[in-house]
Structures are given as C-alpha cells and as structure tokens.
C-alpha cells in the first residue's frame, strides 16, 4: 500500500514547528557539555512567557511566571522586559498591577529559597571578573573563537533590526547587557549556559523570516 503522507513546507505553522524542534536539538548540542538540569527549562520558560506577552495573554503569563522564578533567579529580567514592552500597551492601572505582581512574586520566591538554603556553605555570588579575564589571556585562541562566535550571533540578530518585532528588540536590548555583565563578573569563562534566557530571542530574530 502506498503512503500519501507528505509534508507541505509551504505551511507556515509546519515551518514554525520544524524550526522550533530544530532549535531544541541545537540547544541540546550547544549546551550539553556544561548544562544544568534547569537550563533547558530556562529557555522554555522564556520562550513561552515572551510568546504569551506578545499575544496579550497576561493571565497565563502571570500564572507561569512564578515557576520561572523557582527555576532560575534570572527570570527577573522578564519583569524589566514586561515593564518596558507593556508601558504603552497597558493601562496605567494594569501596568502597575502586573509589574507589581511580578516583582512581589520574584522577591517572595527569592527570599523563600534563600531561607531554605541559608544553612549551606557559600555566598550569594562568586565574584570573579579578574579570573575570567585571566582565562582569556591564558587561552587566546579559544577566547578569539568564543568572542568571534558571539559577535557573529549579535550581527545576525541586528542585521534587520528595524524589521524585528518590538518585543524581540526590547528583550534583546535588556537581556544581552544584563547577561553579559553577569557572565563577566559572576560567571565562568567560556560557559555559555548563562545565556539560556536569550537563546529563544536569538533564534526568533535570526530565523523568523526564513
């Protein structure tokens, strides 16, 4: 019996699905060597929350946001993205309520987790900018490859900046400087898992018009 199953790649929904599936596989390849169990979920939460933000599904966004905060504390960047993106899209009352809810949810969860792990050894931050810079000096070839790759990604993201949706522009402008600062001061040289939050934004900006 012959099969009549075929893929219609002209269907935009199918293309989006295939791109999303491919993006997950690429994520696993890039992050596999050094990933933590919550890195993939970090990218997932970011993708879903930005998607709901773009579609105006605020209640759904609010329901899932606390889970993103439990997953990783850098979910706080989404509060800033939401605040900037929603500034002219929400009424003043709705904006204050939404941003206030997110801030209180994040702070409450953060304090709760700090209290839960208060008895463990260690500090809040591992401040190591000097060590990170020294590792670039000690491994110049690896550092050059790493920085070239990062620069190439940034150029691909901004090559059609004016045609990018406002939400992607806002997320990129806010998240990239914040994550790079964290990477340099409290991260670990050549560790890319710290950029998990920006991964969905990068994929969308580079491939959304293919």
Q: Is residue 5 part of a domain?
A: no
Mean pLDDT of 50-69: 95
- pLDDT the model gives residue 102: 97
Answer whether residue 88 is part of any domain. Answer: yes
Kind plus residue range of the DSSP H or E element containing 37: none
% pLDDT > 90, the chain: 43
Give the residue numbers spanning the domain of 133.
12-207
Radius of gyration, CA atoms only, the chain: 19
- pLDDT at residue 1 is higher than 50: no
Q: Look at residue 176 and tell me if it is in a domain.
A: yes
Please check whether residue 1 lies inside any domain of the structure: no
Average pLDDT over residues 99-106: 97
pLDDT number for residue 184? 85
- 196: Cα separation from own chain's centroid: 5
Backbone angles phi, psi at 104, to 5 degrees: -65, -40
* Burial tier of 162 (Cβ tally within 10 Å: 0-12, 13-18, 19+): exposed
pLDDT on residue 81 = 96
d(CA 196, CA 34): 12
The mean pLDDT of the chain is 85
CA separation, residue 63 to residues 1, 16, 69, 114 (Å):
48, 25, 12, 22
Mean pLDDT, to the nearest integer, of 67-77?
Answer: 93
Mean pLDDT, residues 109-135 taken together: 82
- Residue 87 domain-assigned? yes
What single DSSP character describes residue 194? G
Residue 7 located in a structural domain: no
Domains identified in the chain, total number:
1
- Assess if residue 148 is contained within a domain: yes
């Amino acid at each position: 019996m012959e099969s009549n199953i075929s893929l219609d790649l002209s269907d935009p929904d199918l293309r989006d699905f295939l791109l999303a599936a491919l993006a997950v596989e690429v994520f696993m390849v890039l992050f596999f060597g050094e990933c933590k169990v919550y890195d993939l979920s970090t990218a997932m939460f970011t993708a879903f929350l930005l998607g709901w933000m773009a579609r105006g599904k605020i209640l759904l966004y609010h329901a899932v946001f606390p889970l993103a905060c439990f997953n990783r504390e850098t979910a706080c960047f989404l509060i800033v993205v939401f605040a900037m993106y929603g500034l002219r899209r929400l009424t003043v009352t709705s904006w204050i309520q939404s941003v206030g809810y997110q801030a209180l949810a994040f702070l409450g969860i953060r304090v709760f987790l700090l209290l839960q792990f208060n008895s463990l050894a260690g500090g809040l931050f591992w401040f190591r900018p000097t060590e990170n810079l020294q590792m670039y000096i000690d491994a110049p070839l690896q550092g050059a490859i790493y920085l070239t790759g990062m620069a190439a990604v940034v150029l691909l993201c901004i090559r059609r900046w004016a045609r990018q949706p406002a939400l992607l522009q806002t997320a990129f402008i806010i998240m990239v400087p914040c994550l790079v600062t964290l990477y340099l001061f409290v991260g670990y040289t050549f560790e890319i898992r710290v950029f998990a939050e920006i991964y969905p934004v990068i994929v969308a900006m580079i491939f959304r018009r293919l």
